[in-house]
């Protein structure tokens, strides 16, 4: 069975002190490992949260990384650095990295490859803009993002995919359950073309885009939606725990 995952991407939020406070709350409230809980804080908070959450089932990730191990890359963070801080996962190709910072599929593929080489699990984010959706380009855009982003990856057991329609990120507008289900189905079909149908069935695909406690269950009822990558709703401990409970309930039905 595929892993059911709830990932919280804090983006550029929370000081170290605020991160520690959240971690202590989460430590008290989260029980078990279904869904698997992942937290993506800022780089400076990873090591602190690693100490607070030691011994729990909660895992940590970084929001980004560079593909080189070291060198004259001012402001960048290497795979070994985030791993040393306690990160087991890394977000790669988030829509904000693509559309604000100009990261293209070729660069993203190098990052995915570097993560896997360093035994860090990448969550490769894919998704279309509103313009691309309106012009019926969704499937071709996502297929290109997948094929190039995974071009160095020979085995499908060591990565996760997140579908995040760009038009739903931070807008309060989420894809309908039907739109999410169709996109996830198409993503799995592309993965099947690359790695084979059986292997594609083992890859977790998360939905991201204005996920809230009010809509997560309807999104997660579909068999191809294996969890959620959550932004704003992951910043409050109680709300995040509510998301976890509702996701667990949806996937048990």
Specify the pTM. 0.96
Residues 6+ apart with CB under 8 A from 107: 67
The answer to whether the CB of 243 falls within 8 A of the CB of 233 is: yes
**Buried b vs exposed e over 48-76: b needs ≥16 C-beta within 10 Å?**
bbbebbeeeebbbbbbbbbbeeeeeeeee
pLDDT at position 12 is 98
Domain count, the chain: 1
90 confidence band (pLDDT: 50, 70, 90): very high
pLDDT at position 32 is 66
Of these residues, 94, 96, 179, 184, which one is catalytic? 94
Q: Considering the chain, what percentage of its residues have pLDDT values greater than 90?
A: 89
Distance CA 124, CA 210 (A): 18
Q: Considering the chain, what percentage of its residues have pLDDT values greater than 70?
A: 99
Of these residues, 103, 132, 164, 179, which one is catalytic? 164
Encode pLDDT of 120-132 as tens digits. 999 999 999 999 9
Encode pLDDT of 185-242 as tens digits. 999 999 999 999 999 999 999 999 889 999 999 999 999 999 999 999 999 999 999 9
Encode pLDDT of 92-119 as tens digits. 999 999 999 999 999 999 999 999 999 9
Is there a catalytic annotation at residue 94? yes
**Rounded mean pLDDT of the chain?**
95
Environment class of 151 (CB within 10 Å of its CB; exposed 0-12, middle 13-18, buried 19+): middle
Whether pLDDT at 253 is above 70: no
pLDDT at position 171 is 76
Q: In this structure, what are the phi and psi dihedrals at residue 215, rounded to the nearest 5 degrees? A: -120, -5
pLDDT at position 240 is 96
- CATH number for 154: 3.20.20.70
- Picking from 244, 250, 253, 238, the residue whose alpha carbon sits closest to that of residue 35 is 244
Domain range enclosing 72: 5-252
Whether pLDDT at 30 is above 80: no
31 confidence band (pLDDT: 50, 70, 90): low
């Amino acid at each position: 069975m595929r892993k059911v995952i709830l990932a919280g991407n804090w983006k550029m939020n929370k000081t170290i002190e605020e991160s520690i406070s959240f971690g202590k709350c989460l430590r008290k409230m989260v029980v078990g490992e279904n869904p698997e809980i992942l937290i993506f804080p800022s780089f400076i908070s990873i090591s602190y949260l690693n100490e607070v959450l030691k011994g729990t089932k909660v895992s940590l990730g970084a929001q980004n990384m560079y593909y080189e191990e070291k060198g004259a890359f001012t402001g960048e963070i290497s795979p070994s650095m985030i791993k040393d801080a306690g990160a087991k996962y890394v977000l790669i190709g988030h829509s904000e990295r693509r559309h604000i910072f100009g990261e293209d599929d070729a660069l993203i593929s190098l990052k995915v490859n570097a993560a896997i080489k360093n035994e860090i699990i990448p969550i490769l984010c894919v998704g279309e803009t509103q313009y691309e959706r309106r012009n019926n380009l969704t499937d071709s855009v996502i297929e290109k993002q997948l094929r190039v982003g995974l071009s160095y990856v020979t085995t499908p057991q060591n990565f996760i995919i997140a579908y995040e329609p760009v038009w739903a990120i931070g807008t309060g507008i989420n894809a309908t359950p039907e739109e999410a289900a169709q996109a996830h189905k198409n993503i799995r079909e592309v993965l099947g073309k690359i790695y084979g149908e059986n292997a594609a069935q083992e890859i977790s695909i998360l939905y991201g885009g204005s996920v809230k406690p009010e809509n997560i269950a309807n999104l997660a009822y579909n068999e191809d939606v294996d969890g959620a990558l959550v932004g704003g709703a992951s910043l409050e401990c109680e709300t995040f725990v509510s998301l976890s409970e509702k996701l667990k309930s949806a996937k048990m039905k």
